[in-house]
């Protein structure tokens, strides 16, 4: 079986983050063909062109990890109907310089969860638009999850609710299929 590496970007720094729980669930229910590496984004400074030529180690560690991965999975909260700044900052670092843009032709799955009824749907539209502009292959379709009860996903990524588990499993399987085709 061919295996593919996936850089997991969980875009919340909170210890009890529901998006980190969702990211763990995706890893847990994904096919064995996907091997996940969790990549940090919160150690990078804000993008500053003056640092080009002497990029901080946290930035080169990030861009090296994305470059080395066959695909990327973004799991994000929605902040004010958009993506969190930590993820936008990471995308900006990775997109520069233009001839070393790590997102070009990268297969990217996007999802997220919030307690709201349309959990992260609007934020994901922004994320999709940004990634498309910089040349990523964003998985078609939408996957946003309303985190209905505080224990919907446990700390290990186990999902008790059968329909949510089936949805996350199908999402991960669809991603694995796309990665196998395109990566
Ligand atoms: C600055 C900020 C803005 C938020 N904006 C939204 C929003 O636009 N839509 C939404 O559904 N939830 C919004 N929320 C609530 C988050 O969905 C909720 O706090 C969630 O638990 C954050 O994800 P995390 O647990 O993974 O950190 C916002 C929260 C914060 C802190």
Is residue 124 within 6 Å of ligand 1 at its C-beta?
no
Atom nearest to 19 CA in ligand 1: 26
Secondary structure (DSSP) of 30-61: S-TTEEEEE---TTSPPP-GGGTTS--HHHHH
Secondary structure (DSSP) of 99-117: GG-TTTT-EEEEEEEESST
Residue 102: domain span? 4-182
Q: How far is CA 95 from CA 15, 91, 98, in A?
A: 28, 6, 6
* CATH number of domain containing 36: 3.40.50.360
Closest residue to atom 31 of ligand 1, CA basis = 79
Is residue 47 within 6 Å of ligand 1 at its C-beta?
no
Report the C-alpha gap between 141 and 39 in whole angstroms: 24
Domain count, the chain: 1
**pLDDT per residue over 102-147, tens digit each?**
999 999 999 999 999 888 999 999 999 999 999 999 999 999 999 9
Q: Is the pLDDT of residue 179 over 90?
A: yes
Residue 148: what pLDDT?
A: 92
CB 59 within 8 A of CB 93: yes
**pLDDT per residue over 64-81, tens digit each?**
999 999 999 999 999 999
Is residue 19 within 6 Å of ligand 1 at its C-beta?
yes
Residue 118: what pLDDT?
A: 86
Report the C-alpha gap between 49 and 176 in whole angstroms: 36
**pLDDT per residue over 25-65, tens digit each?**
999 999 999 999 999 999 999 999 999 999 999 999 999 99
């Amino acid at each position: 079986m061919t295996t593919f590496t996936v850089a997991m970007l969980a875009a919340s720094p909170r210890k009890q983050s529901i998006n980190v729980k969702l990211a763990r669930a995706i890893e847990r229910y994904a096919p064995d063909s996907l091997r996940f590496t969790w990549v940090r984004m919160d150690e990078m400074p804000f993008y500053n062109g003056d640092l080009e030529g002497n990029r901080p180690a946290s930035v080169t560690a990030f861009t090296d990890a994305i470059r080395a991965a066959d695909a990327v999975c973004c799991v994000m909260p929605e902040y004010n109907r958009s993506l969190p700044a930590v993820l936008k900052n990471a995308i900006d670092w990775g997109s520069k310089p233009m001839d070393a843009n790590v997102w070009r032709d990268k297969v990217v799955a996007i999802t997220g969860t919030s307690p709201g009824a349309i959990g992260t749907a609007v934020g994901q539209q922004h994320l999709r638009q940004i990634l498309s502009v910089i040349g990523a292959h964003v998985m078609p379709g939408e996957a946003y999850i309303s985190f209905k009860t505080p224990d919907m996903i446990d700390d290990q990524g186990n999902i008790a609710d059968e329909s949510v588990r089936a949805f996350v499993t199908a999402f991960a399987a669809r991603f694995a299929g796309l990665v196998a085709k395109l990566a």
